[in-house]
Amino acid sequence: MNKKMKVIFNKIIKYFKTNILMATFIITSIINGILVRYFTVENIFAIKPILADLCVLLIIVSFGYFIKPKHQFKYLITWSFILSIICIINSVYYSNYLSFASFSLLKTATELTGYTDAVFENILEIKDFVFLFQIFILCFVHFQLKRKKYYQKVKEIENGKIRFLNTIVASLIVLGFFVSTLTSTDLGRLKKQWNRSYVVMEFGIYVYQINDLFTSIKTTVNEMFGYDEAYKTFREYYDEPTKKSDKNEYTDIFNGKNVLVIHAESLQGFTMNLKFNGEELTPNLNKLAKSGIYFSNFYAQESVGNSSDSEFTFLTSLLPSSSGTVFMNYFDRDYETLLKLLKEKEYYTFSMHANIGSAWNRNITYKYLGYDDFYYYTKDYEMDEIIGLGLSDKSFFRQSVNILKNINSEKDKWYGTLIMLTNHTPFSDVENFDYLVDYKKINEETNEEEIIPWLSDTKIGNYLKSVNYADSAIGELIEMLDSEGLLDDTVIVIYGDHDAKLKQSELKKLYESEYYQDVLIDKENTVGIIDDFTYEINREVPFIIWTKDMTKTKRNREITKVMGMIDVMPTLANMLGVTPKYALGHDMFSVKNNVVVFPSGNWISNMLYYNSAKGKFRQLDLESSIDMDYIENYNEYAEKLINISNGIITYDLIKAYETGEETLNLQK
């Protein structure tokens, strides 16, 4: 036995000695895979993803043996470049979106046009270039081997076909070990691909990206294999006997009123609880929140489409797509939207944005969502004041009010959306924002006021200044609407489209500072140390429903129960006197124990926040006991909600259900 083991060991040593370049490629690629997990899901030295990476790398290497040794470097350096870029893209993507990149998002790459500064100032970090070490190491090893005439020696002993077969056998052995560690849950999530973090944790970055490639390029024929199951699930869900929608004190209160929705770019909820040097950061929003209906525990539920995802979920009560974005990939479906329901009551519907009409494919998608008109830059706005990425919010609002006056005089009832822009990453146009985010104090020795640099010249500081500007713009808008008589019969709805996408390190500068307690409006609203859980839980955005007379009618209130963007459509529908059939969310005034499901599979209730990828949770209600049945029930609910929503989006199931079609017929 010892002799056999010695022979095998010597053969392995000989193999690596005559395959130095191949071995270098495999080792550096595995290190890069580990680094990706270190920077993202932190599942660093888990054996399963390492085995998966090794299996993929052995297969890549095996085909290199069909190439002459002196040309194998070209083959491997090409693969090193590809794999390094994959690692960089996913590291960057996760840092900003807490998910991994997908080939299905290539269509959205055009949306980076005009956002170059945001990419380089706010997204790329030094750590993202660490993955390039593989290319330098491989080049160094290659030139050393070339100098020692290594390739000539290897040429004499190498048999490409035999080494190909040996390497394939080795990869199959590794694959066998890997498969033996998998569970049915692992295989199910690999197939569905909607929980990308989980797939990377268990299968490694290379298997994830290969699987994503095949998932993303599925043709309509391939999609048909999932159509029957999706349609069956959809039909069972909506055919179930349900109670008639509950009436509540807000039913029909806005029936026949105009609606103006303010889509507040990157407005995160914590900003409404801050004041610096005695001055509230968001005085206008705070005033509207107190005199209106304010949902202080509200989440956006967006995915990779960010603003466009929130627009979609707001109007449809569906979750964003798990593959690509609705606005770019699935825009031409027959969705049920709040706009279409109101159009049945003869509402005129429109959207306004100081960006080009083709941004996020809005000029096309809006028609399918139910907008009658779209007012946008190049067609309806003069670029007279530029801040950040385009026309300033204050100029945008001033020009929009002029358009609104004409609409109000010509249309009996209308529903409009104003999409803000100034408070968009990278928040670098600081010369336009004069709010002071540093700390003023009285010097005990000189008895004079001094300013202590705290958040100036930081991303979080610039963001807070930008938020103050956005709040001021909203305040001016309300005043202009009031002076023009446009508030008398109009409902104002304000929502943050998503969080600020600031990195954890930036939030630490605020929350973990010795001055943090002094800037709070509500002293009990503390966060303390920012860890992964508090970072994710703290991503709430404001949601406000307001009318000029709401205080007089005593309908103003704060709702602290957890709510999500998916719940907006059925809530507003009830208030406006229309009834949706396919909303997946709930009326926020009727639901008792709500749960907000995120496209990643994570979810939050008033009891706890659950991270699906890590299989861990943070209890929020410390006075209640949590059992595993509670978690499992909501895990099943989350998966069901995601699957139904994806089915509607991918296969146009609402149209199929309404028309009685039993086969897939996507005109795309």
Q: What is the per-residue pLDDT across 63-109, written as a single tens digit (0 to 9) for each?
A: 988 888 778 899 999 999 999 999 999 988 887 666 788 776 665 55
Distance CA 379, CA 358 (A): 12
Residue 220's pLDDT band, with cuts at 50, 70 and 90, is very low
According to DSSP H, which parts of 370-458 are helical? 393-410
Q: Coil, helix or strand for 550?
A: coil
DSSP alpha helix (H) spans, 453-557: 459-483, 504-511, 516-519, 532-537
pLDDT at 96: 67
Element (H, E) at 185: helix 184-192
CA distance 194 to 323: 7
The bridge status of strand 603-605 relative to strand 373-377 is unpaired
Pairing of strands 298-299, 348-356: unpaired
Q: Would you call 251 exposed, middle or buried from its count of C-beta atoms within 10 A (0-12, 13-18, 19+)?
A: middle
The mean pLDDT value for 626-648 works out to 94
Largest CA distance in the chain: 96
Q: Give 21's Cβ-side CA count (13 Å radius).
A: 29
* Structure tokens, 284: 């206008």
**In the structure encoding, which two tokens stand for residue 408, read together?**
């109000």
Per-residue pLDDT, 571: 98
Contact (Cβ atoms closer than 8 angstroms) between residue 371 and residue 349: yes
Q: Encode pLDDT of 397-439 as tens digits.
A: 999 999 999 999 999 999 999 999 999 988 988 888 989 999 9
- Whether pLDDT at 668 is above 70: no
- Choose from 150-159, 439-448, 609-618 the range with maximum mean pLDDT: 609-618
Cβ-in-10-Å burial (0-12, 13-18, 19+) of 590 comes to: middle
Q: Span 220-227, mean pLDDT?
A: 61
What whole-number distance in Å separates Cα of residue 651 and Cα of residue 420? 32
Among candidates 648, 639, 663, which has minimal Cα distance to 192? Answer: 639
**CATH code of the domain made up of 258-575:** 3.40.720.10
* The pLDDT of residue 219: 42
646: tokens are 């994806």
Note the pTM of the prediction, 2 decimals: 0.81
pLDDT of 228 reads: 86
CB-based contacts of 278: which residues, under 8 Å, 6+ apart? Answer: none
Compute the chain's Rg from CA coordinates. Answer: 28
Q: Measured between alpha carbons, how far is 230 from 20 in angstroms, rounded to an integer?
A: 50
Please list the residue range(s) of the chain that carry CATH number 3.40.720.10.
258-575
- Residue 657's nearest CA partner among 642, 647, 668 is 647
SS (H, E, C) 288-311: HHHHCEEECCEECCCCCCCHHHHH
**Pairwise CA distance, residues 54 & 58, whole Å:** 6
Continuous segment of H or E residues that includes residue 135: helix 133-147
Exposed/middle/buried for residue 407 (C-beta within 10 Å: 0-12, 13-18, 19+): middle
- Asked whether the predicted pLDDT for residue 537 surpasses 60, the reply is yes
| pLDDT higher than threshold 80 for residue 444 | no
* Residue located via tokens 């095996």: 62
Cα 399 to Cα 413: distance, rounded to the nearest angstrom: 21
Query: Which has more pLDDT, 144 or 242?
Result: 144
How many other β-carbons are positioned within 10 Å of the β-carbon of residue 78? Answer: 10
Question: If DSSP codes are grouped into helix, strand and coil, which group holds residue 390?
Answer: strand
What's at 253, amino acid-wise? I
Q: Residue 67: exposed, middle, or buried by beta-carbon count in 10 A (0-12, 13-18, 19+)? A: middle
Pick from 596, 666, 600, 571: which is nearest to 97 by CA?
600
Q: Which residues pair with 558 in a beta bridge?
A: 294
Does residue 301 surpass a pLDDT of 70? yes
Give the span between the Cα atoms of 611 and 615, in whole angstroms.
6
DSSP string computed for 221-276: HHHHHHHHHHHHHHHHHHHS--PPPPP-TTTTTTTT-EEEEEEETT--GGGGGBEE
What is the pLDDT confidence band of residue 222, given thresholds at 50, 70 and 90?
very low
Could you please report the per-residue DSSP string of 65-82?
Answer: TTS-GGGHHHHHHHHHHH
Question: Whole-angstrom Cα distance, residue 158 to residue 291?
Answer: 80
Stretch 521-542: mean pLDDT, rounded? 87
> Whole-angstrom distance between the N-terminal and C-terminal Cα of the chain?
64
Average of per-residue pLDDT values in the chain: 88
Closest CA to 131 of 86, 71, 178: 86
Please confirm whether the linkage preceding 542 is cis (ω < 30° from 0).
no
Tokens of 473: 């713009």
For 519-528, what is each residue's pLDDT tens digit? 999 877 667 7
- pLDDT surpassing 70 at residue 263: yes
What is the secondary structure of 607-646 as a DSSP string?
Answer: SEEEETTTTEEEES-TTS---HHHHHHHHHHHHHHHHHHH
Task: Classify 474 as helix, strand or coil.
Answer: helix
